[in-house]
Amino acid sequence: MGPLGVSTVDLAAISKPYKSSASHYVLLTCKTPFYKQQQPPPRTRPSWNFKRAKWVVYHQALDVSIPNIDWKQSVDHINASLTKQLLTAAKRAVPRGVVHSYKPYWSEELNSLRLTKNRLRRSIHARIRLHRPWSILKARYWRCSREYSRQIRVAQQAQWEEFSHQLSLSGRREWKAVRTLAFGPPPPRISIDGNTGKTAARTYAAYLADEVFRSRLSPGQRVAWGRRNRQQLQHHSTLQSAAGYTAATIPLEQRLSLPYAEQAHLFQGDPFLPSELTRALGRLNLASTCGPDRLFPLFLSQLPDAGQRALLRLINKSFLTCQVPAAWRLARVVLLPKPSTPSVRPTSKDYRPISITSVLARVAESMVLYRVESQLERHGSLTTSPTLSPYQHGFRPARGVDEQVAYIHCSIQEQVDHGRIVGLVWLDWRKAYDTVTLPVLRARLLEKPIHINLSAWIWAFLNGRRFFVEVQHSSSSTVRQHHGLPQGCILSPLLWIIYVDSLLRTLEDLTFPHTHPAYRLTGLAAYADDVCFWCSGNSQEEVDYKIMHTLTIIQQWATETGMALSEENFSEKSSPGEDRPHLLSTPMPTADYPRHDSHQ
């Protein structure tokens, strides 16, 4: 007898043919705790089968339901109505159910053997119920099963050889399929401190709320940044009221004859155009997953004309009133293991939070991002406010990492050829996106040549955000996010670039020829949250002094903005490359150099 009075035969029957969906009620009551732990997760609702979707029915349902939207209500009510109508139309047009697996090796002979095997099995079950002999049928069943398995292996081998002979270096999709099917390991199971499922989700949500999404500023710094924001808002409101009155009195023909900078600033605050919505819908990633509202990107890409007009009207109302629906500020956080995640008992710090937002919010973000980029990427002579640093190449059009690598290599090689010692420092911010302080970011936005409506909408989008963590189909409760940029949002990379741009501007001044030689940097490079700078000198002490002076400026900026450098990813190299102490723990070297207080 086994545990709980179960015999060995019953345990064998449980361990082999038992399934959670089977109707073995007697065996179900005999499950041991071990088998309770091994049962699969609960079944979720079948996914959408887009291959069998009838988009004509989808268009007809939306054409009938969209005119019933009450546009006098708030943006939250309108967004909820539009989301409900999109889901209702999708339920009518898109069937549910798992798509059958694709078997290119399948043939009529295999199908005939499968039917024969199933027919023999049913005959055996019928003879067992009638207490009749079934040994002959059993032998025939095993012969048919062996032949069926052999022919499947032969067909699969032939199909694999045909597929492998057609592979080429340009077949990226095919190689990705091969890597996933043949060499890809199963996805790791999310475990935090030994907990999984709902307990792990609650643990990680508490970790984000208490340790990550919080302000690193002192009370005095928060008051100072708040006072600065109020002054900038008052100044912008005065300018905006005058600009709005001027724009209202100038006809469209005369507005087009104004200088480009004035035209762009006037048109930035206007409602979005249908062409901007078409561009945003065309840039949607159809392979991405749905947000908390269960809307897939394919639902918006297949919108009829009436649906696009309704969506544009909702986005314009949100933009002009600077009111963002609460559903757009809700994120579903999923966890991605970091490359350094240990295989045994990982903790909360070993995962990276990825926020998945509503698809409607992604479209609105894309439209706002396009306008902000069009202003920030203009030439500096066209605007009085500073744009973005030319040393920043991350997430910017017509810029990439290849140019940065070539620039670093050529600059260092030039100094080495002249016989000078070069010191190179790589810096990385600790949880860069997650530790952004929102009042500081608001001040940075108001400093840039961005329309006040765009800045206000971005602030409304970031303020009052909420999130919940999902781990293995289990979710935590909704938690408030006070600070930080949601990783996974379209606007987050550009907002981080704006946030760190003031530091790059300060370091850029150290590269100018008019800077004192004791503090002058040879070069500077940045790619998103990675910063690299290098300097040269005739002696190692001179190089160390320049590096420590620059690190002092960076540390002071980090203290003022609530950021922190990651000492784990800090790297410093010098030519010649002898072993040297870690510069972040080295005191400032003393030298007979004049003080350079303009950057302190």
Nearest to 442 by CA among 417, 421, 419, 461: 461
pLDDT higher than 90, residue 250: no
Among 242-246, 318-322, 527-531, the least confident range: 242-246
- Return the top range by mean pLDDT from 32-46, 486-500, 513-527: 486-500
Structure tokens that stand for 301 in this block: 């890409």
pLDDT higher than 90, residue 196: no
**pLDDT at site 29:** 36
pLDDT higher than 60, residue 243: no
User: Which string of DSSP letters, residue by residue, matches 237-249?
Assistant: HHHHHHHHHHHHH
The angle subtended at Cα 325 by Cα 431 and Cα 289, nearest 5°, is 60
**pLDDT at site 587:** 46
Q: What span, in angstroms and rounded, lies between the C-alpha atoms of 313 and 272? A: 9
Distances (CA, A) of 73 to 76, 82, 87, 301, 316: 8, 12, 20, 26, 14
Among 180-184, 424-428, 534-538, 593-597, the least confident range: 593-597
CB 377 within 8 A of CB 310: no
Mean pLDDT to the nearest integer, 476-503 = 92
In 329-472, where does DSSP find H-type helix? Answer: 359-376, 401-417, 438-447, 452-462
- Structure confidence by residue, pLDDT tens digits, 55-94: 999 999 999 999 999 999 999 999 999 999 999 999 999 9
Q: Within a 10 A sphere around the Cβ of 570, how many other Cβ atoms?
A: 15
**pLDDT at site 245:** 44
Q: What percent of the chain has pLDDT over 90?
A: 42
Confidence tier at 179 by pLDDT (50, 70, 90): low
Structure tokens that stand for 336 in this block: 């991605």
User: Which string of DSSP letters, residue by residue, matches 523-538?
Assistant: EEEEETTEEEEEEEES
Average pLDDT, the chain: 80
pLDDT higher than 80, residue 597: no
Instruction: Return the higher-pLDDT residue of 483 and 234.
Output: 483
CB 375 within 8 A of CB 447: no
Nearest to 116 by CA among 154, 143, 135: 143
pLDDT higher than 90, residue 496: yes
Beta strands in 462-600 (DSSP E): 465-471, 474-475, 479-481, 523-527, 530-537, 571-574
Burial of 446 (0-12, 13-18, 19+ CB in 10 A): buried
Mean pLDDT to the nearest integer, 137-159 = 91
Confidence tier at 494 by pLDDT (50, 70, 90): very high
Mean pLDDT to the nearest integer, 262-278 = 82
Q: What span, in angstroms and rounded, lies between the C-alpha atoms of 463 and 246? A: 31
pLDDT higher than 60, residue 305: yes
Contacts of 252 (CB under 8 A, 6+ apart): none
Among 27-31, 101-105, 269-273, 339-343, the least confident range: 27-31
H or E element that contains 120: helix 108-129
Q: What span, in angstroms and rounded, lies between the C-alpha atoms of 330 and 291? A: 9
- Structure confidence by residue, pLDDT tens digits, 329-358: 999 999 988 877 676 788 888 898 999 999
Helix, strand, coil shares of the chain, percent, nearest 5, are: 55, 10, 35
Q: What span, in angstroms and rounded, lies between the C-alpha atoms of 198 and 241? A: 51
**pLDDT at site 253:** 65
**pLDDT at site 170:** 66
CB 88 within 8 A of CB 65: yes
Q: What span, in angstroms and rounded, lies between the C-alpha atoms of 353 and 216? A: 19
**pLDDT at site 187:** 64
Q: What sign results for the dihedral spanned by CA atoms 375, 378, 383, 386?
A: positive
Mean pLDDT to the nearest integer, 475-498 = 92
Among 172-186, 378-392, 421-435, 556-570, the least confident range: 172-186
Mean pLDDT to the nearest integer, 214-229 = 81
Q: Give me the residues paired with residue 351 across strands.
A: 337
Instruction: Return the higher-pLDDT residue of 266 and 148.
Output: 148
pLDDT higher than 50, residue 582: no
**pLDDT at site 254:** 66
Domain boundaries, the chain: 1-40, 105-186, 200-279+308-387+437-483, 410-428+497-599
Burial of 162 (0-12, 13-18, 19+ CB in 10 A): exposed
Instruction: Return the higher-pLDDT residue of 552 and 103.
Output: 552
Distances (CA, A) of 372 to 188, 375, 465, 499, 505: 39, 5, 21, 14, 19
CB 452 within 8 A of CB 576: no
Nearest to 299 by CA among 87, 56, 3: 87
pLDDT higher than 80, residue 595: no
Instruction: Return the higher-pLDDT residue of 13 and 237.
Output: 237
Nearest to 307 by CA among 75, 69, 72: 69
Q: What percent of the chain has pLDDT over 70?
A: 75
Confidence tier at 261 by pLDDT (50, 70, 90): low
Q: Which fold has domain 410-428+497-599?
A: Alpha-Beta Plaits (3.30.70)
**pLDDT at site 227:** 81
How does 79-100 read in b/e, with b if 16+ C-beta sit within 10 Å? bbbbbebbeebbeebbeeeeee
Nearest to 501 by CA among 591, 419, 441: 441
Confidence tier at 19 by pLDDT (50, 70, 90): very low
Confidence tier at 37 by pLDDT (50, 70, 90): very low
Nearest to 524 by CA among 516, 515, 512, 537: 512
H or E element that contains 267: helix 260-268
User: Which string of DSSP letters, residue by residue, matches 6-59?
Assistant: --HHHHHHHHTT--TTS--HHHHTT--HHHHHHSPPPPPPPPB-GGG--HHHHH
Mean pLDDT to the nearest integer, 23-29 = 36
